[in-house]
Structure 1
Amino acid sequence: MTLFFAMLLDAALGEPKWLWDRLPHPAILMGRAIAWCDDRFNTGPFRLLRGVGVMTALAAGALLLGEALSFLGPVIEILIAAILLAQRSLVQHVQAVGDALRLSVGDGRRAVAMIVGRDTAEMDGPAVTRAAIESAAENLSDGVIAPAFWFLIGGLPGLLLYKITNTADSMIGHRTPRHAEFGWAAARLDDLLNLIPARLTALLIALPHHVLRDWPAIRAEARQHRSPNAGWPEAAMARALNVALSGPRSYNGQMQDHPWVHPLGNHHPGPHQIDAAVSALWRAWALALAGGLVLGLLGCLL
């Protein structure tokens, strides 16, 4: 039942600004630890082995810390889990893009730049919309369903293991000259930990929108994505909203010709489609919440 109450608490409170203006968020602390490791150990020869060692140490530390915190009781578990889930903050960030886009394309660009890593300066309205929807789908998996899944499987140790891995992947798991070797272990472990949650997220999006019949197409389009996991929720969201996603976009001034996801969908989406994406986030969350409640009740009875 701890997952059920943690999801409710996160949805109700999100990330209170008054609290995190005074205290460092756990994700910030994780980021500082990873940045220190990057500065300290990502030098010289054997960077792949150094990266494996760092990721092993970070994972072990997360597991041990989670185990220690578990002894503080279920109330502390619920509070920590709620802090490390991100449903309400995700919804707020995505909705902010839709609200800004209603004012002007420039406002939409500035809002979407807060949640995506691609170039936004030359985006038109549909490009802003697609970026927001894609971010919504991917972060539903990374920020809500995957943490909830690993909390359900492994309690706080499982949740902290996932969060430190996902944070490390976002910081050092890039195929750049600096991180291609050192971040290899973080990227591969993140791929492994997201294998089931990404597909589960796609299912949670598809079910309430009655597009489960399109699962073969969702699977095929997910496999075209550069990530082995991120394409699943994105492809499901594209079908759920009947919007063409992905396609060409620019990173660091370089255009990349990504294939379209659901190419027969609407190529000119706008704020209304962002509203629909926010609704899809809540529907998927509600299904996950119901699943957590059922599993919690079964656990109490067994």
Structure 2
Amino acid sequence: MAIVSVIIPAFNTEKTISETIISVLEQKFEFFELIIINADSTDSTLKVISNFKDSRLQVFSYPKANVAVNRNRGLHHSTGEFITFLDGDDLWTSDKLETQYKALLENPETAIAYSWTHCIDERGQFLRTCSTIAVTGNVYPHLLLEDFIGNGSNVMIRRDAFMSVGGFDELLTNAQDSDLLLRLAACYQFVAVPKVQVLYRVQTNSMSADVWKLETACLQVLERAFNQAPESLQYLKPYCLANLYKYLLYRTLEGQPERHKSRIAVKFLISTLRTDPYIFFKRVIFKVFLKLAVIILLPSQYAHVMFSKLKRVFNTSTLLGYIQTDPFSLKN
């Protein structure tokens, strides 16, 4: 029986799934099973997977469904005492399983281990560092304020803890990871592995409509979380909303300059200024206005050239630097 179950949901991942599988099979920790849930892929995903001959790898095909459903399907086939998930376009460093497993063994009072993440582009090139928060123990206030773990390819969870909270909410089509982590954090302690072990691939051609859906799902998850959170943590809600809109504004402006993004970006800019008026006086807001003006006024090909040549001028990633991360510094 495997000690760790690795679950990969895959839908039309022919371009990336091979590299993802290799990053699992090359783990220093060998006592795992790799379960791939093929969600009715219409490309050559299954053919690519069939090139791997490893007894630890199993593939199960199902009708197309959202990520939450497919991860829960993977759990149904798993046998490991510890569960971890990996998206079909993300990567792990070779010590990810080993160090997270060791962290959980050395801290038996904890149920979830997490690491740090680098964002990479579609070609695997480094884009930026994600959160480097390393909180161990009760991380619930921190997660209410900000999802510093950041993606579904990160955590390792004790099976009994995962089962006790009911797995992923299959009705959510976005923010499933944040929802699960909040429910876990309300009941269990976390342990940090303070090193980069997850390479999260950012798809720059993602549809702007997905950002609308992300906003809706995040607001739903946060409303649910704060309805259940104790009175002593309710003061975090306005800061959490401000953090959300800074992130959504950044997400909308990153990637290719597309004119139809401008309407969405303006909406999120207004929400950002409404939830955190002080950011109006920061230099990054000038960059946001400038970037929006270029997107609106210039054809996308010219805007792309300008952004490429003047990266520092149009770099709005510093929005993320104004996300509040310390819940205790905000308490009156």
Is TM-score (shorter-chain normalized) higher than 0.5?
A: no
Q: Which has the higher contact order (CA 8 A, sep 6+)?
A: 1
User: Could you say which structure has the larger radius of gyration?
Assistant: 2
Larger helix proportion of the pair? 1
Larger strand proportion of the pair? 2
